Chain A
Amino acid sequence: MTLREKIDSNQFVVCGEIGPPQSCDGDVIRAKSKYFKGFVDAVNITDNQTAIARLSSIASARILLDEGVEPIMQMTCRDRNRLAIQSDLLGAAALGIRNVLCLTGDHQKFGDNPEAKGVFDLDSVQLIATVSSMNRGFLLSGHEMKKAPAFLIGAAANPFAVPFEMRLIRLHKKIEAGAHFIQTQPVFDLELFARWMERVVEMGLHDKTAILAGVLPTKSVKALLWMKEEVPGVKINEKYIERMKLARDPEEEGVKMAVEIIQALKTIKGIRGIHLMPALWESITPTIVREAGLSTKN
């Protein structure tokens, strides 16, 4: 069953995430794909995440397809103007890629090429609208295509950044522009997330799109602290940091924490799936999927 079919038929979705290597070694992606195949419905392929030049998301997505894993290709506005975005999307569609996650992209200042020119010709809302328009058969110039792509459109949401209410307006805009599913930033503060979801349900947005809650398994207190300090827009409840500090086996504690968060998320109204992002710890995915009871068998 494809991701689109699962979302259309209102089934619980599990997504993974792979970051391509900083080299031309496609085998890295092939090796990582084994941790996801049969365990998740689809896998995100990041597009030069944190503004570091890597193997392209289009090529990586195609490698995943060859391995029998459904990719969600991320597409950012940082590195491409509208010409490049449209041509890359058409190329991806021709290669058989069906899912695209539309992002604005991290600012180039945070990467390894801080002196680069940030393009930002479109922003994420406009990118979603562009893909919608392409799905309807029209390029931005108004040219009608002989064959239109049929992308399933994803978008991101950050429930934890201020101003709280503005985040909902932005989610509203993304859905209006045509987002079929939403992946959130990793949840480390269930209370705040539940409050956000309450408002989402109140606005009726959970019916118009599939909201997949982000979960990030970690294996050390260092990683948690780094995220708290360095990654903008990530909120981490102190209790998780304390637990990680006291844990005898941090890896085991990390799994336990992720499973606990997933189980709590499953009970929140309006959640249609989980987006697992085991950054640099892909090998843990099968364990977490099994222990959290996230069966993707149809």
Chain B
Amino acid sequence: MAPGVGQDEEPHLLKDLVTCDRPPISATERRFSRLLLFFEDIVKVPLFRCQHCGECILSSTAYVCSQNCPKKMRNGPCGGTGDDGSCEVYPDRKCVWYKIYYRSRLLNRMSLLYKINRIHNHNLDHTSSWLNVFKKRIDAPILFVRNDKQKVKDLESR
């Protein structure tokens, strides 16, 4: 493990920012990953327009894929969202983060929007997120959020 990674003093140290201390992906695994990705795609492409980043954060973005953003923003919208919620780059589309915000409110998952999502590991592009979760390369999805309003209050007063 590299120095600095895994040392715990303040929040948002390196280990919360990058995944360089996680197990690498082997050639055999890549083959298995491709097979798994076939099944993952059947679910995720029609439902979420999955972009195969292999580092799925769907559960913290209220099941709207953030990687459809032209700037690949993983931590909230850029400053260019139009008044009607349109994307500045493709005005015929809605801003992905505009959708994430309203869906999070609807599903009571607002507290998840405060989390700083990691810098994307491009080694995982076009691999199966399911396998990566199983292998602890990426964080497991957060399925249930309890007391969302209280959590938001705690986060804001931190």
Contacts and interface: CB of A to CB of B under 8 A. Distances in A.
Contact of A172 (B83, B89, B156): B156
Given A82-B119, A126-B119, A204-B157, A140 B18 contact: yes
Interface string B85-125: 10011000000011001100000000001101011101000
A141 B157 contact: no
A24 interface: no
A176 B88 CA distance: 27
Contact residues of B: prevailing secondary structure: loop
A99 interface: no
Contacts of B88: 107, 232-233
A177 B115 CA distance: 10
A225 interface: no
B43 interface: no
23 contacts: A78-B71, A82-B119, A107-B70, A107-B89, A126-B116, A132-B12, A136-B4, A138-B4, A140-B18, A141-B20, A142-B14, A143-B3, A158-B79, A161-B81, A162-B82, A163-B101, A166-B101, A169-B113, A170-B75, A172-B114, A177-B12, A204-B157, A232-B80
Given A138-B4, A169-B113, 17 more contacts: A104-B73, A107-B71, A107-B88, A118-B70, A125-B75, A125-B116, A129-B17, A133-B17, A138-B3, A140-B20, A141-B20, A142-B3, A144-B3, A162-B83, A163-B101, A166-B113, A233-B88
Interface of A: 78, 82, 104, 106-107, 109, 118, 120-126, 129-130, 132-133, 136-138, 140-144, 156, 158, 161-163, 165-166, 169-170, 172-173, 176-178, 185, 203-204, 232-233
The 3 A-B residue pairs with the shortest CB-CB distance, nearest first, are A142-B2, A232-B80, A158-B79
